[in-house]
Chains A and B, each alone.
Chain A
Amino acid sequence: MALLEIKGLTTEVSGYKIIDNLDFSVEANELRVLLGPNGAGKTTLIAMITGQFKPTAGKIFFDGKDITGRAPDEIFLAGISRKFQVPNMYETLSVYDNVMISLQTDRKVFKYMFKRVSPAENERIWEILEFIELADRANDPADTMSHGERQWLEMGMLIGSNPKLLLLDEPTTGMTEQGKQRTAQLIEKIAKSHTVLLVEHDMHVVRRLGKKVTVLHQGKLLAEGPLAEVVENEMVKAVYLGKGRH
């Protein structure tokens, strides 16, 4: 069974089907890119998987367990970490503390009460900070970081939680060309040891990654396969690139 398996997922908001009977799966240790025009349901799909919204019908299985309609914190503890579209972190805390908060520990209040950062945890935080190349800014508050640095910090926070599946929602939005390249590099590095589901708009980045691609359109699965094949697909061309442009 695949790591993430979605069966017949449907989400309806006032009669309009944002996600329409979707079957979709991600294998372990895979880097999958999710494509789709605006309103295709990409972010909604991620919101369903992480428990932000509840689906109208259908099931979501993760790691063999049914996680449909569970609370966000429970789904996180099951092993799914999510990066938001807009960088989302703790603004007044330092970069170090942002990663520290994300570390995998028992998160129950009374277990947490007298806990301190152990040397092993400290080591791990620094490893992550060096991995995302932000170690020299460890003591700065997160709100002093640039947009790109915030995106990388959030990815570092996700790694810190040791997830089985990372959901990255458009991590390159609003970045400069160099920023996008650095982000793509970081995603490649992360994908070496993690399962990643990436929502991406930028074709340069998608081409560079060159992995299996899933295209959504109006909440339905339009095409799936290696990038080169999908780009040649007539339907994809019609939906996406506009008729007659290719």
Chain B
Amino acid sequence: MAINLAGGGATVRKVRRARLIPLWALILGALVMALIGTSPHYAGTDSYVVGLIGKFLCFAIFALSVDLIWGFAGILSLGQAVYFGIGAYMVALSMKLNYTLENATRYGGNIPDFMEWNGLTEVPGFMAPLLSTPVAVALALAIPTLLAFIFGVITFKRHIYGVYCAVITLAEALILERFIVEYQAYTGGFNGITDYSNLRGAPFLWVIIAVTVVCFLGARVLTHSRIGTVLKSIRDNDVRAEFMGYNVANYRIFVFCISAFMAAGAGAMYAAWVGIVSFLDTGPLLSVEAVIWTAVGGRATIIGPFIGAFLIRGLEFVLSGLDIELAGRSIAEYWQIFMGALFIAVVLWIPDGIVGTIGNWVRKRGTGTLGQIREDQDRLAHDRQHDWDPAGATKPGEERV
């Protein structure tokens, strides 16, 4: 029953949209990546800073995965480290198994030391596929994505979201953390998995950079596309979207799986780069940290999580290097307090995060289209006060049914 709408046609039919990738962002991004990629040459491959940079890149991807669901689809997850951690453990286990095959432990066995301590004499059968690197990488990516899918079906299909969803994800992270500590014969328990050869060095750094670029470009394309608009509409008003015929649960599951896939990739690279994983990499603490990075950098911006992760983790590193004492302790010991305070400050004063606030500021200053929007907003806020007259809309004596 399409209607023929004969319009006036006097207006200019022009849709204003931001570019997919603005030129300045392309140049700046390429410069930063080139700088990071060449860092082993002038800082030395074994330098601590290069080690940190590779780690931060993984964290940046992880924060992006949080931003994708929280900033763009409105799902707050406090357990995203579950997917990061499972990816990391798969790769770490695989590397550890392969490493011990060639390098006997100090007890002379060819199985990981934590298995020996717990009375195992050979690698359990279900872990055998992890000996093959491609299989291990595939599992590191597939298992978290599958878990995210199952989680999504259980929660989103039953209309559980918002705070309840956040609490369930938090519980999820706690469960995995306990699981890893308890089943120490298979996971290394409290000590985590250590003493395997890592891939730290210039070649693998380029791999991380490549994956980072692909993830950030992919996230930009996704959020800029039509399906990205649907995700934002669900974030803004899920009831309206449902009454517009969208199966909101399916869209949530979709973006949750993509996010878990990204987090798993970041975790897998993290394990290979750093050479140690522990239960802390799967727990609520890292999950909440990623939320803080995203909030500080800027929710619902692509580059915000990157900046947030580098800035906060960088600050932590700088602070720990300072030799200042406060009440008899090194200043680095107060780091958690500082981070908490920073989070509160950001939420109170710059709720849009660093990138979001700069964006707002540029828009306000601009004289073009976006400046116009700001002006209109002020005018309309004024209009609306007069327009909106609930209940009292009718004057006395007027008929009201």
Asked if B1 and A91 make an inter-chain contact with CB atoms under 8 angstroms apart, the answer reads no
B5–chain A nearest beta-carbon distance, Å: 4
Asked if A193 and B1 make an inter-chain contact with CB atoms under 8 angstroms apart, the answer reads yes
Q: Which residue of A37, A72, A112, A194 is within 8 Å of B243 (Cβ)?
A: A72
Asked if A144 and B377 make an inter-chain contact with CB atoms under 8 angstroms apart, the answer reads yes
B399–chain A nearest beta-carbon distance, Å: 5
Asked if B373 and A175 make an inter-chain contact with CB atoms under 8 angstroms apart, the answer reads no
Inter-chain contacts of A173 with B (CB < 8 A): 390, 393
Asked if B240 and A146 make an inter-chain contact with CB atoms under 8 angstroms apart, the answer reads no
CA distance A165 to B372 in the complex (A): 37
Inter-chain contacts of B14 with A (CB < 8 A): 138-139
Is B203 close to A, CB under 8 A? no
- CB-CB under 8 A for A203 and B400, given A146-B384, A174-B389, A194-B1: yes
Is B3 close to A, CB under 8 A? yes
- CB-CB under 8 A for A89 and B377, given A109-B250, A117-B226: no
Q: Nearest chain-A residue to B399 (Cβ)?
A: A203
Q: Nearest chain-B residue to A144 (Cβ)?
A: B377
Q: Nearest chain-B residue to A179 (Cβ)?
A: B387
Asked if B393 and A130 make an inter-chain contact with CB atoms under 8 angstroms apart, the answer reads no
Is B158 close to A, CB under 8 A? no
Asked if A109 and B11 make an inter-chain contact with CB atoms under 8 angstroms apart, the answer reads no
Is B195 close to A, CB under 8 A? no
Is A97 close to B, CB under 8 A? yes
- CB-CB under 8 A for A240 and B401, given A130-B9, A173-B393: yes
A224–chain B nearest beta-carbon distance, Å: 15
Is B28 close to A, CB under 8 A? no
For window 52-111 of A, CB contacts with B under 8 Å fall at 72-73, 76-77, 81-82, 84, 88-93, 96-98, 100-102, 107-109
Is B245 close to A, CB under 8 A? yes
CA distance A193 to B3 in the complex (A): 6
Asked if B386 and A176 make an inter-chain contact with CB atoms under 8 angstroms apart, the answer reads yes
Binds A, one of B75-83, B130-138, B227-235: B227-235
Asked if B401 and A175 make an inter-chain contact with CB atoms under 8 angstroms apart, the answer reads no
Residue of A93, A109, A145 ringed by the most chain B CB atoms within 10 A: A109
Asked if B242 and A72 make an inter-chain contact with CB atoms under 8 angstroms apart, the answer reads yes
For window 115-157 of A, CB contacts with B under 8 Å fall at 115-117, 122, 126-128, 130-131, 135-141, 144-148, 157
Is B32 close to A, CB under 8 A? no
Asked if A90 and B242 make an inter-chain contact with CB atoms under 8 angstroms apart, the answer reads no
Asked if B388 and A147 make an inter-chain contact with CB atoms under 8 angstroms apart, the answer reads yes
Is A161 close to B, CB under 8 A? yes
Asked if B384 and A126 make an inter-chain contact with CB atoms under 8 angstroms apart, the answer reads no
Residue of B8, B14, B393 ringed by the most chain A CB atoms within 10 A: B393
Q: Nearest chain-A residue to B252 (Cβ)?
A: A109
A interface size (C-beta, 8 A):
69
Is B376 close to A, CB under 8 A? yes
Inter-chain contacts of A164 with B (CB < 8 A): 1
CA distance A117 to B245 in the complex (A): 18
For window 298-334 of B, CB contacts with A under 8 Å fall at none
Inter-chain contacts of A157 with B (CB < 8 A): 244
Is A159 close to B, CB under 8 A? yes
Is B383 close to A, CB under 8 A? yes
CA distance A148 to B8 in the complex (A): 21
Q: Nearest chain-B residue to A158 (Cβ)?
A: B244
Asked if B15 and A139 make an inter-chain contact with CB atoms under 8 angstroms apart, the answer reads yes
Q: Which residue of A73, A115, A122, A174 is within 8 Å of B246 (Cβ)?
A: A73
B280–chain A nearest beta-carbon distance, Å: 34
Is A10 close to B, CB under 8 A? no
Asked if A162 and B2 make an inter-chain contact with CB atoms under 8 angstroms apart, the answer reads yes
CA distance A116 to B1 in the complex (A): 23
Inter-chain contacts of A127 with B (CB < 8 A): 5, 7
CA distance A115 to B251 in the complex (A): 15
CA distance A102 to B240 in the complex (A): 10
A-contact bits for B1-23, CB 8 A (1 contact / 0 none):
11111011101011110000000
Inter-chain contacts of A107 with B (CB < 8 A): 245-247
Inter-chain contacts of A102 with B (CB < 8 A): 244
Inter-chain contacts of A241 with B (CB < 8 A): 399
Inter-chain contacts of B232 with A (CB < 8 A): 90, 92-93
Is B34 close to A, CB under 8 A? no
Inter-chain contacts of B229 with A (CB < 8 A): 93, 97, 100-101
Inter-chain contacts of B241 with A (CB < 8 A): 90, 101
Is A50 close to B, CB under 8 A? yes
Q: Which residue of B226, B250, B376 is within 8 Å of A140 (Cβ)?
A: B376
Asked if A148 and B387 make an inter-chain contact with CB atoms under 8 angstroms apart, the answer reads yes
Q: Which residue of B8, B239, B377 is within 8 Å of A130 (Cβ)?
A: B8
Inter-chain contacts of A122 with B (CB < 8 A): 15
Is B380 close to A, CB under 8 A? yes
Inter-chain contacts of B248 with A (CB < 8 A): 73
B45–chain A nearest beta-carbon distance, Å: 41
B401–chain A nearest beta-carbon distance, Å: 5
- CB-CB under 8 A for A88 and B240, given A76-B245, A201-B400: yes
Chain B residues proximal to chain A, CB less than 8 Å:
1-5, 7-9, 11, 13-16, 225-227, 229-230, 232-233, 236-237, 239-248, 250-251, 254, 369, 373, 376-377, 380, 383-384, 386-390, 393-394, 399-401
Provide a sorted-by-A list of 22 A–B residue pairs whose CB atoms are within 8 angstroms: A73-B247, A73-B248, A84-B243, A101-B233, A102-B244, A108-B247, A109-B227, A109-B247, A109-B250, A117-B226, A122-B15, A126-B13, A135-B13, A139-B14, A144-B380, A145-B380, A146-B383, A162-B2, A173-B390, A175-B387, A201-B401, A203-B401
Q: Ordered nearest first, which 9 A-B pairs have the shortest CB separation?
A: A130-B7, A76-B245, A193-B3, A90-B236, A135-B11, A90-B233, A127-B5, A139-B16, A131-B5
Other A-B pairs beyond A100-B226, A109-B247, A128-B5, 14, CB < 8 Å = A73-B243, A77-B245, A81-B243, A90-B240, A98-B233, A101-B233, A101-B241, A140-B376, A146-B380, A146-B383, A147-B388, A202-B401, A240-B401, A241-B399
